[in-house]
Chain A
């Protein structure tokens, strides 16, 4: 338990710091790299939450594919590989109260709802097989829909990005 707690807090702090950097840094490429840290941290948290399959997918899809896409996007739009001053908009400060407001709402809601509730010591661990049974059983229809979404996204991305 303690080990898990230590792991959680360490990763959590790293993630928060990294996330903050993502939204504050003046360098797009740096931001992308900080994002990798956040995503990796998230994958680690998934493992802590006994969701190995999701964690693996996270690493493969996000860190593997999405990040590459981001970097490509950055390159293709000829962002400077260096700091830039023009990344934030004029209402930058507007974000603080908005985020603060949401956070306040969540703090109130979470603390009143879950208070000191603990995760059971020996929680039921979900095996990958169960997950796949669910996906191809009860959630088959969303799965199909999702497949179509992906297909449409691929086609759409191609159509959008084509030069002609």
Chain B
């Protein structure tokens, strides 16, 4: 089995394992079972099935934590340079014609890390949803979908082969469709759900192609050397690094897989579904955009890192597809965040931008910081989303519009405010919040690995992040209360999903702090947003880099060699300075613009033409949506499909009709020459198909026996002659 590790087995220490690691496959199975139970019995349970969802997530969390703990022990039992073998269990799902489809688990540091994050965030989100969706019409369905969604993500993370990964990947897609379109009575919501599923599905073509290519390219090699099929992640990783693969094949496969990641992780140019997906309930946005769905793409790149590493020549430096896409995504989505008035959309674009950082890091060989960014980002982004939900839930009467319905909330919602600030600082990458330790490391390593240009882009991105978050914070918590936050129950301004909740009680009570079920998850998340960075605090020296020790696979036949930039305070201070500059500039501008209504700033976009054009360009999201919807989708669904259908009806069917009518003509002609008497009715050129068939046959149906006889005998005679001629 472990041909590669056995080769020099004598120097390796035996690795420990444990119950939790061996049974990690239970982690996705529990939510899957819970899903089935909720669907079947949920409505009849005391808490409408929500308790099952929460309990299953808690169970998954416990299992993942146990697995994490045992993984750390396993790492500790290994020697310094030893590659810590993942815990792999696989069973044959089915096999046929030499193809073997397995099902199994593949647990290593990366998987454990993401499992823990997913289970943790899912648990908090479910608890939060207990309150947030209380009384919703489809409460049970919501929990079922949420549970299955987490199950899908967990299965994808655990997958030991590409087929299982694809399964989890698609289940997530399905559940995102159900969750984003949760309030499907509104056209907007169902359209957003459709858009999300469809856009991701476009990317999935790449996944299908990539899996197929990898399978056929790698299968022989993996069978021979590792006795696993070409679907196995471990096999593919080893194959990619073996120097065996044809560089073109692996390059195309890597590009194909990356296309799938672009769709799933909302990278440019397929990021457009992500902001629209905010149509779903806030807990969904929080789950989707912090730790699951969108991270799946990043996870896939991290999981199959050897393929990308070799295929896209990551150690080569300079630039490759991943860093280019990542870099573009960071900047363009950060720019979009400036013109949003909807707080959730700001966060959505910020997510897109942060995913760009992760991709950038992975593309530039900064594997560890990128993976660590998955970890930290999950906490602070979830906290931000839940904070936004808390505001809309308790203060702004279900509106997410910062300009119209928020402002000055820091006094009424102190807990939400505090957690928000902590998470924002983490997001901006301020020392010592968690974002600093991951994001700064990414920026640092990108430069160190020879991607200088992209380091600059990343720094610009950091500046923009700080600026737009400051703007959003200012609009939400500072200044004077506006709209619903000021207690004006302006019913026409309410957010769309308002009608579905039974929260009318809140409407009259004005802005207030949210309940415990909402604030406790917020507090927990903000504590983590503050502290989780210390798990891999590079500035404090090697002994603080626990994450690197536990998660990063050591260089071996299964993992490429990764380089780490030495930490330097000078660089860190520079990037911190950029962040603070961003905060300061944005604060001053926001204060002047939104509170003082400074005449030099208000209406600037109207007065300065070039700014106006830029603003319009941003507001219209670079016209990408227009391009997709109006040009591509509308053309395919409209003229092209209609044209195809027209061809079907008029050309293909037309040929058939033509054949029918010409056969009618021919038979009519033949008949006229046999029987001069019957001419009427035979010539009717504009007859439809039915008529033509009928009239074609009609003359011969004269009802006269002797004619029938004549026809019969002459036909027999002709047939006989034909046979005779053929036989002679």
Contacts and interface: CB of A to CB of B under 8 A. Distances in A.
Tell me what chain B mostly uses at the interface: helix, strand, loop, or mixed.
Answer: helix
Contacts of A108: 721, 724, 728
Contacts, number: 40
Given A108-B724, A112-B728, A101 B718 contact: yes
A34 to B, nearest CB: 20
Interface string A62-80: 0000000000000000000
B602 interface: no
Nearest to B706: A89
Interface in B675-728: 675, 704, 706-707, 710, 713-714, 716-718, 720-721, 724, 728
A102 B710 CA distance: 11
Interface residues of B, number: 15
A102 B721 CA distance: 8
Tell me what chain A mostly uses at the interface: helix, strand, loop, or mixed.
Answer: helix
B714 A101 contact: yes
Contact of B714 (A89, A98, A106, A109): A98
12 contacts: A91-B675, A94-B674, A94-B710, A95-B710, A99-B713, A101-B721, A102-B713, A102-B714, A102-B720, A106-B720, A109-B720, A112-B728
Contacts of B724: 105, 108-109, 112
Contacts of A47: none
Contact of A98 (B704, B717, B728): B717
Most buried by A among B675, B706, B717: B717
A104 interface: yes
A136 to B, nearest CB: 34
B660 to A, nearest CB: 28
Contacts of B713: 98-99, 101-102
Contacts of A106: 720
A80 B675 CA distance: 31
Given A105-B721, A108-B721, A108-B724, A91 B707 contact: yes
A104 B675 CA distance: 23
Contact of A102 (B674, B704, B706, B717): B717
A106 B716 CA distance: 11
Contact of B720 (A95, A97, A105): A105
A102 B707 contact: no
A104 B707 CA distance: 21
Contacts of A89: 704, 706
B716 A102 contact: yes
Nearest to A97: B714
Contacts of B718: 101
A-B pairs with lowest CB-CB distance, top 10: A101-B717, A105-B720, A102-B717, A105-B721, A98-B714, A109-B724, A108-B724, A98-B713, A94-B710, A105-B717
Nearest to A104: B721
Interface string A101-141: 11011101100100000000000000000000000000000
Most buried by B among A97, A99, A101, A108: A101
Interface string A82-98: 00000001010011011
Given A91-B706, A106-B720, 5 more contacts: A94-B710, A97-B714, A105-B721, A108-B724, A112-B724
A156 B663 CA distance: 41
A2 to B, nearest CB: 33
A43 B713 CA distance: 26
Contacts of B706: 89, 91, 94
A92 to B, nearest CB: 9
Contacts of B720: 102, 105-106, 109
A112 B675 CA distance: 34
Contacts of B707: 91
B710 A98 contact: yes
Contacts of B710: 91, 94-95, 98
Nearest to B728: A112
A102 B714 CA distance: 7
Contacts of A98: 710, 713-714, 717
Most buried by A among B704, B707, B724, B728: B724
A99 to B, nearest CB: 8
B708 to A, nearest CB: 12
A98 to B, nearest CB: 5
A112 to B, nearest CB: 6
Nearest to B674: A94
Contacts of B721: 101, 104-105, 108
Contacts of A94: 674, 706, 710
A109 B706 CA distance: 26
Nearest to A112: B728
Nearest to A108: B724
A91 B708 CA distance: 12
Contacts of B704: 89
Most buried by A among B674, B707, B710: B710
A94 B728 CA distance: 29
Nearest to A92: B706
Contacts of B716: 102
B483 to A, nearest CB: 95
A62 B704 CA distance: 28
Interface string B284-310: 000000000000000000000000000
Nearest to A103: B717
A108 B720 CA distance: 10
A101 to B, nearest CB: 4
